[in-house]
Structure 1
Amino acid sequence: MEFNEQVLALASKIKLVIFDVDGVLTDGGLYFTDDGREIKKFNVRDGLGISLLVKTGVEVAVITGRNSVIVAERMKSLGVSHVYQGRMNKLETYENLKLALEITDEEVAFVGDDIIDLPIMNICALPVAVGDAHDDVKSKAVLVVDKTGGHGAARDVCDLIMRAQNLSYDFTATQ
């Protein structure tokens, strides 16, 4: 995906990328087994992008309105330590996270898909909407990625941040 100079300039200052989960890191569907357990499908490329951001020193967080053991496990496996679930008031969590990390709105990117995400998108430096986001969310976004939630949209954002900041991860280094 190509990014314009304004988006690259904003991305060059980002220290924290926050993702919504349902509709951003997943396709937004709710899937249940016959015995009532919830399951989610995550994109492996999105996961690699997130883990690379973490490994290169960019803070990554998720703030989601739903609670899910699956989300906690997936984020743990990617190295994401800032996981906030059951947060219908995402703005309050956002403000507390900024204080804890000692960062400003100008250093935050937020990736969302629905109107519950607008309060943060209205104040962060780099509001991003996935390709299948609600129209109101798209209208507030500085960037609307081509890909849809759960299908590589998060990876595009991770690639943008890494490109804008000249970040890379050495896969040949001893693990």
Structure 2
Amino acid sequence: MMINKDLSNIRMLVMDVDGTLTDGKIYIGEHGEIFKAFNVKDGYRLNSLDKYSIIPVIITGRNSAILSRRAAELNISEVHQGIDNKLEVLDEIIDRHNLKYENVAYIGDDINDIECMKACGFNACPADAVQEVIQTVDYVCKLNGGEGAVRELIDLLIVKEKIALSTP
């Protein structure tokens, strides 16, 4: 998939969780305990974003102590859970960081992400996103949600950033 956008101005990466940072499965034990699986490769790259002046942000419709713990491990301070109107929250975050939508990349996998995706300067989805999202985005990752799609996008942003920084 050819990308015809300049990604060198991206300063924030906004991510959905279930189906994007995870495979979308929620495991529930017999005593009601809930489990989610996060990809270590995504986490490794998320930890490097500060070197590239890219702020990681999580906006999700669900509430999860598991997500809070994983975000803390990755030093992601912008974590917004239980959100019905993602665009409203994203507006507030962008204002607080003195950015514009053109400075934001968004990755999500389902219909509740589309409004934010359309507003952002660049958007992507995992390979296994719902069809309505695949038809909306600038880039469809080769990898599925929870299987490295976020890392794939970050690698793309970092490569584009390096190219932009080295170009006169």
TM band (smaller chain): over 0.9
Structure 2 counterparts to residues 47-86 of structure 1, below 5 A: 47-86=43-82
RMSD: 1.3
Contact 2:68 2:79 in 1 (8 A): yes
Any gaps of 5 or more consecutive residues in structure 1?
A: 168-175
The CA distance in 1 between the partners of 2:22 and 2:32, in whole Å, is 19
**4+ long deviations beyond 3 Å:** none
Residues 106-150 of structure 1 deviation map (CA, whole Å, 9 limit, x = unaligned): 000000100000110111010111100011101110000110000
Partner of 2:9: 13
Equivalent pairs, count: 163
Any gaps of 5 or more consecutive residues in structure 2?
A: 164-168
The residue matched to 1:164 in structure 2 has which SS?
A: helix
For the pair 1:93 / 2:80, whether they are aligned, the reply is no
TM score, norm. by length of structure 2 = 0.93
Partner of 1:133: 129
Partner of 1:151: 147
Q: Specify whether residues 145 and 105 from structure 1 end up closer, same or farther in structure 2 by C-alpha distance, changes over 3 A only.
A: same
Q: Which residue of 76, 90, 103 corresponds with 1:107?
A: 103
Partner of 2:166: none
Residues 140-172 of structure 1 deviation map (CA, whole Å, 9 limit, x = unaligned): 1000011000001000011011111129xxxxx
The CA distance in 1 between the partners of 2:124 and 2:84, in whole Å, is 19
Contact 2:3 2:138 in 1 (8 A): no
TM score, norm. by length of structure 1 = 0.89
